[in-house]
Amino acid sequence: MISIFTEHNGVSPVKQDFIWLGEYYDGTHLSEFDFQTKEEHSFYSLERDKLIRFGVIGHGRKLFYEADGVFNLNGTGIEVTYKVGDKEYPLTGLADHFRDTITYKDAESTVNLAGGGGMTDTIINQYNFGYKSVIEIDGVTFQFKALCKIPFGQSMYMNFWLVADQKLDGTLVIKKNNRIAEEINAPLRKGVGGEVNFGLS
């Protein structure tokens, strides 16, 4: 099956730098703005139970995650595991755990209080997309959130948030293209979340 993320040129059809795009298992898709008509679609119209890929496109870049939670960022694969001793808990690469799709924009507006005018144009300064999931592995329940953040004029990065239902003294292992890129000491207390940013440059 041909993927819209593979076939598309990665250029936004509107002036907005990036638009979100969801691809379904039947080969159809829904994008924030229609590629032909430029009509805007609501994020809440996404049929999340049918998604096989979700992400953003813009400036020739195609950034998305697959149905198994593995990110593909313009050809670079990003996977995450949590390791305790010799035991590994995969946080990506699992089927049917990544339907809770997230996308939002960070924006700012300026207000002219002295001149009696209202708000000026709103400027988007960061695009964000990813998911949150609940994963149960060998008696341990993890809540895991993974976001790709694309700030204006700066390098994009990943943000990972993790909480477990029990105390664990482990390491967060981040892989790029199946090779370990970073191992971060990440002890977890029961019910207390930990957060880390991972640069992609």
- Neighbouring C-alpha atoms within 13 Å toward the C-beta of 51: 30
* In the chain, % of residues over pLDDT 70: 94
Tell me the domain boundaries of the chain: 4-199
What's the pTM value of the predicted model, to 2 decimals? Answer: 0.91
Extract the tokens encoding 92: 């990506």
Per-residue pLDDT at 97? 76
> What Cα–Cα distance (Å) separates residue 73 from each residue in 40, 63, 101, 165, 186?
24, 4, 16, 31, 24
Per-residue pLDDT at 1? 61
What's the longest Cα–Cα distance across the chain?
Answer: 65
**Residue 66 pLDDT more than 70?**
yes
Of residues 126 and 112, the one with the higher pLDDT is 126
158-162: average pLDDT: 98
User: How does strand 51-58 pair with strand 61-66?
Assistant: antiparallel
Per-residue pLDDT at 113? 64
Q: Residue 151 carries which side chain, given as an amino acid letter?
A: P
Report the chain's mean pLDDT, rounded to a whole number: 92
pLDDT band at residue 122 using 50, 70 and 90 as cut-offs: confident
Distance between CA atoms of residues 95 and 4, nearest Å: 21
* In the chain, % of residues over pLDDT 90: 84
Token pair 């609940």 is at which residue?
134
The answer for residues whose C-beta is within 8 angstroms of residue 66's C-beta and 6 or more apart is 52, 53, 72
SS3 content of the chain, % helix, strand, coil (to 5): 5, 55, 40
pLDDT band at residue 2 using 50, 70 and 90 as cut-offs: confident
164-177: average pLDDT: 97
Helix (H) or strand (E) segment spanning residue 7: helix 4-7
Per-residue pLDDT at 28? 94
**Residue 115 pLDDT more than 70?**
no
**Residue 99 pLDDT more than 80?**
yes
**Residue 110 pLDDT more than 90?**
no
pLDDT band at residue 95 using 50, 70 and 90 as cut-offs: confident
40-56: average pLDDT: 95
